Structure 1
Amino acid sequence: MVAALGHLTRVIAGIPVPNTPIVNATISYAQANLPTATYKHVMRSWLNGQAIINKFPSANLANVDQDAHAVAAILHDMGFSNNTQLLSHDKRFEVDGADDTARSFLQREGGKEWSEARQQAVWDGIALHGIPNIALHRDFFVALVAAGSQIDLAGPEGAKLVYGDMITVTREEYDGIQKEFPFSDGDRPFFVEQLVELCRSKPDTTYDNYVGDFGERYVANYSRVGHRAIDFMDYQSSSG
């Protein structure tokens, strides 16, 4: 359910969210350029993060760039776009998404109020969303984008194991978001296949991160050997 609450706020899945031109354009852009399963995931991720923001004391809300959070959260998986023109052949999927969003979409749709600093914040949020042990130490905005995605995949309880007390999403809020943008039976296998395909098509972008785990399990002849930090150390020793 989407209910209007005036010019600046509306409610999606029980969560009050910003109702601004850039947020609405971001939702439309994601829906047009992402597979359905991925679109539902990013919407759930955004709403999880917004649910956390909504619990901030009112005096602190002025310090939260809610539009920037929406853009970063909703477009954090543009590296899995079904529009191949948005994808590279040699960059990590997170960087594909960050470059398209922060360097192209925002410059096209955002207007002058999107300074270089705001664009960089969005870039960081997208690029680091899959690296929680870095995102947690960047700034709260970046951690929030990562946490929203983690909540969707692991539930509030699972996300707390990584993000601790910043996870304030209730089970009731989580269930309401899941009801509005539900997992289909084939969604999780679809997500796995997206990661496996990266290991097939862009293996050099996967060896040093979690995506490579899927290559080792599911892709014949995939190997990180020769691409690990210890392999480079061995090469240096043998060539020295």
Structure 2
Amino acid sequence: MPSRTIAGIAIPGTPMVNAAITLAQKHLDNVTYNHIMRSTLLGFAVADKAPEMQARDREVHALAALLHDLSWDVQGKFVSPDKRFEVDSADAARDFVETQILQGSADEAGGSTWPKARLQLLWDAIALHTTPSIGMYKEIEVKAAGFGIFLDFVGVAGAPPGALTVEEWDAVVAGYPRAGFRDGLKSVMCHLCRTKPQTTYDNFVGEFGEELVDGYSRKGKRAFDILTAIVE
């Protein structure tokens, strides 16, 4: 499988991965694009040192990390009216791969084929990236992608000892700065609470709504409220 090196870290350089980077750059704002690139590079920096991660599908890992927030696109192309943002992103990633295959962009010479199980693995890795209590017990591709995303929030201290160096972190951040990341994340979460509140009641997005969005409430939508309302 061809590779490319970014910020000193090797990731797959297949036509599919290269096209995914182009897609993300086209549809995401700078803050989100930098986040997905950091998540990808940090995930590879750690996973490539972990013995238990060596057998992972590196292309699936890369695509999941690169496209995990595709539904944050500024043009709204990948935003549904009724699905969680993780599901929108997973659906968009699967559609992207299927389109690339139809257009003949899959790296067949490198053995990159996409049976249904591989597409499902990509979908799962994206859909579960905000649910580590489930994702970390899934396949190694799901874990690797999710952990790279997690590291972009917590930094070097969140990595296993020796898995991520300060020098690696600094190189990734120098290439893809974190400026505006916290405020950008808050803005996206609050936007979801305002525009698609029904998709935010059973996940962490609603926490931003309760703290920052006037008039937003999960009361009556929580599992406790639904259980309490059941007629005996």
Give the TM-score of the pair, scaled to structure 2: 0.90
State the match for 1:36 in structure 2. 30
Give structure 1 stretches of 5+ with no counterpart: 1-6
In the alignment, does 2:63 pair up with 1:71? yes
For the 8 Å contact 1:15–1:47, the answer to whether it is kept is yes
Q: How much does 1:139 deviate?
A: 2.1
Number of equivalenced pairs: 223
Q: What amino acid does structure 2 have at the position aligned with 1:138?
A: K
The answer as to 2:179 corresponding to 1:174 is no
Report if aligned partners of 2:35, 2:181 keep a CA contact under 8 Å in 1.
Answer: no
| Contact 1:156/1:167, CA 8 A, preserved across alignment | no
Q: TM-score, normalised by structure 1?
A: 0.87
> Higher relative contact order by CA 8 Å / sep ≥ 6: 1 or 2?
2
Displacement of 1:167 in angstroms is 8.1
1:108 matched to 2:99? The reply is: yes
1:147-186 equivalent positions in 2, closer than 5 A: 147-157=147-157, 159-160=158-159, 165=160, 168-184=163-179, 186=180
Cα separation, 1, equivalents of 2:150 and 2:61: 15
Residue of structure 2 equivalent to 1:219: 213
Distance in 2 (alpha carbons) for counterparts of 1:105 and 1:10: 21
Runs ≥4 residues deviating over 3 A: none
Q: How far 1:10 moved relative to its partner?
A: 2.2
**Distance in 1 separating the partners of 2:72 and 2:149:** 15
1:231 aligns with 2:231: no
Q: Per-residue deviation at 1:226?
A: 0.3
Q: 1:53 aligns with which of 43, 47, 66?
A: 47
1:86-165 → structure 2 map (5 Å cutoff): 86-102=78-94, 104-110=95-101, 111=106, 113-157=113-157, 159-160=158-159, 165=160
RMSD: 1.9
Once the two structures are TM-superposed, the CA of residue 166 in structure 1 deviates from its matched residue by 8.8
Percent of aligned positions that are identical: 41
